[in-house]
Structure formats: C-alpha cells, structure tokens
C-alpha cells in the first residue's frame, strides 16, 4: 500500500482486504475496526476521546535496543541512513546479533503463537495507558516485549505506529469510500462518482447480473458481521 499515493489504488487494496473471510479472531470477533485504526495510526476513533499512543523516538530506540541487543551506535546509524524508524526497526530485527542455542530454544518454546491484530492492539493500548513516575521504563519494557514477538515486517509498522508516521494514506474519507464501494450497487457507485464530477463509463449489460448481486450480498455480510 505504501508503494502508491493514488487514492483509487489505496481504496482497491482495502476493498480486497475487507473481502477476506479470515478477519475474525477469538470468539469470531471482527477486527476490521482495529485494522482501520491501525492503518490510520490510531488506537481509537477520534470521538472516543481516549489517549492515543505517544512514544518519543528516544524511548522507541531504547525499546528496540532492549529487544534486539543492537548497540545504540548501530541503531542511530541505521536510523540516520533510512530516515524512517519503521525501516530501521525492520533492518535491526532482520539482522539481529547471533543468539545462543539456549536463547533460540527458549524463544521457540515460549513464543509459540503468532501475533494477532488483537494482541498488537491490546499491547499498544496498554502502553498508551501507562503513566506515572515509572511509566517510561514500563513503556520501554512493554514495547520491547512486543517487538520481540514480531517478525521484521511487523516490527516495521509497529515502529512507524509508535512514531506517528504510518504513511499509508488511509484517511477517513478514503476508508469511507472504500467501504461504500465494497457494499454499494454498481448504479449507486456510478451515481456517487458522477455527482462528484468524475467521468464514468456507461454500465455494461451484465453489470446487474446475479453473480454481481451475489458478490455484493457477500460483501455486505462481511461488513455487517
């Protein structure tokens, strides 16, 4: 998604994402909302009024150092070269110092489950809620633990999230239109596009076929679940 700045392409990516049937966790709980907020760099919708995550870059660097055991010199050098804390997290996770056999054994048996969207969201909410005299140390420990469970690609976006720079172009209007296009009928999408001044091709003869209607019904069920 970060490879394009074109709004229609970004919407198409989200539409394909939300068509997937496996966006449910635990007791068949949907995670669509968490995905949207995460892509926007938020933990909650704006109207909730709860604190979003604020982590200083120095604190984030201490967390990645604690998790990966890279030196601060190495961390600063990678960050200076990339100019992107997410890319820095990716590189530092991918090229971690050699671990002992015992460390690899313990990690294999203690971290047997993959991270889920719900896991990451809950961990970030917990970090955001930390306050008080020892909160900085607690945040470093919690973020370090989360990074330790990530693969390099996951660490990249967690790094960007805590730095407040997701760079995905997932603003509210883009997300709303993506979902609207997913569940609306072709005629309503054409009408909306024409109302906004876009040039729209005439409908094809099969545009209201039973196959399209079935697909639209399936999409609505996914969103409404």
| DSSP collapsed to 3 states, 73-136 | HHHHHHHHHHCCHHHHHHHHHHCCCCCCHHHHHHHHHHCCCCCCHHHHHHHHHHHHCCCCCCHH
- Kindly report the backbone phi and psi dihedral angles of residue 11, in degrees, each rounded to the nearest multiple of 5, phi listed first: -65, -40
CA 10 – CA 28 distance, rounded (Å): 27
CA 200 – CA 131 distance, rounded (Å): 53
Q: Give the model's pLDDT for residue 172.
A: 80
Q: Give the model's pLDDT for residue 107.
A: 54
Q: Give the model's pLDDT for residue 96.
A: 77
Q: Is 71 left (phi over 0), alpha (psi -120 to 50) or beta?
A: beta
Q: Give the model's pLDDT for residue 74.
A: 95
Would you tell me the crossing angle of helices 85-94 and 72-82 to the nearest 10 degrees? 130
Count of beta carbons in the 10 Å neighbourhood of residue 12: 14
Q: Give the model's pLDDT for residue 218.
A: 58
CA 166 – CA 169 distance, rounded (Å): 8
Domains of the chain, first to last: 7-40+169-224 (no CATH), 57-163 (1.10.3260.10)
CA atoms within 13 A on the CB side of 59: 16
Q: Per the structure block, which two tokens stand in for 190? A: 């054409």
Q: Give the model's pLDDT for residue 113.
A: 55
Low-confidence ranges of the chain (pLDDT < 70): 1-2, 26-27, 97-113, 184-225
Greatest CA separation for the chain: 67
For residue 87, CA distances in Å to 25, 59, 120 come to 28, 17, 19
pTM exceeds cut of 0.75: no
For residue 114, CA distances in Å to 104, 151, 154, 189 come to 16, 9, 11, 38
CA 13 – CA 1 distance, rounded (Å): 7
Q: Give the model's pLDDT for residue 112.
A: 44
Closest CA to 115 of 141, 75, 151, 74: 151
């Amino acid at each position: 998604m970060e490879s394009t700045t074109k709004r229609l392409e970004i919407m198409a990516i989200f539409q394909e994402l939300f068509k997937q049937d496996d966006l449910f966790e635990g007791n068949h709980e949907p995670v669509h909302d968490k995905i949207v907020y995460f892509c926007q760099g938020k933990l909650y919708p704006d109207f909730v009024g709860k604190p979003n995550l604020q982590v200083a870059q120095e604190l984030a660097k201490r967390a990645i150092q604690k998790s990966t055991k890279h030196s601060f010199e190495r961390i600063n050098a990678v960050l200076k070269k990339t100019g992107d804390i997410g890319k820095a997290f990716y590189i530092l996770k991918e090229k971690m110092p050699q671990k002992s056999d015992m460390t690899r054994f313990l990690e294999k048996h203690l971290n047997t489950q993959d991270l889920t969207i719900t896991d990451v969201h809950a961990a970030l909410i917990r970090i955001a809620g930390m306050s008080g005299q020892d909160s900085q140390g607690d945040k470093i420990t919690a973020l370090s633990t989360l990074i330790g469970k990530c693969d390099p690609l996951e660490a990249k976006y967690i790094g960007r999230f805590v730095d407040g720079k997701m760079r995905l172009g997932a603003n509210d209007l883009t997300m709303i239109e993506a979902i609207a296009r997913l569940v609306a009928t072709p005629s309503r999408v054409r009408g909306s596009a024409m109302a906004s001044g876009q040039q729209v091709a005439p409908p094809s003869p099969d545009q209201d076929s039973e196959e399209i209607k079935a697909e639209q019904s399936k999409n609505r069920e996914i969103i409404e679940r």
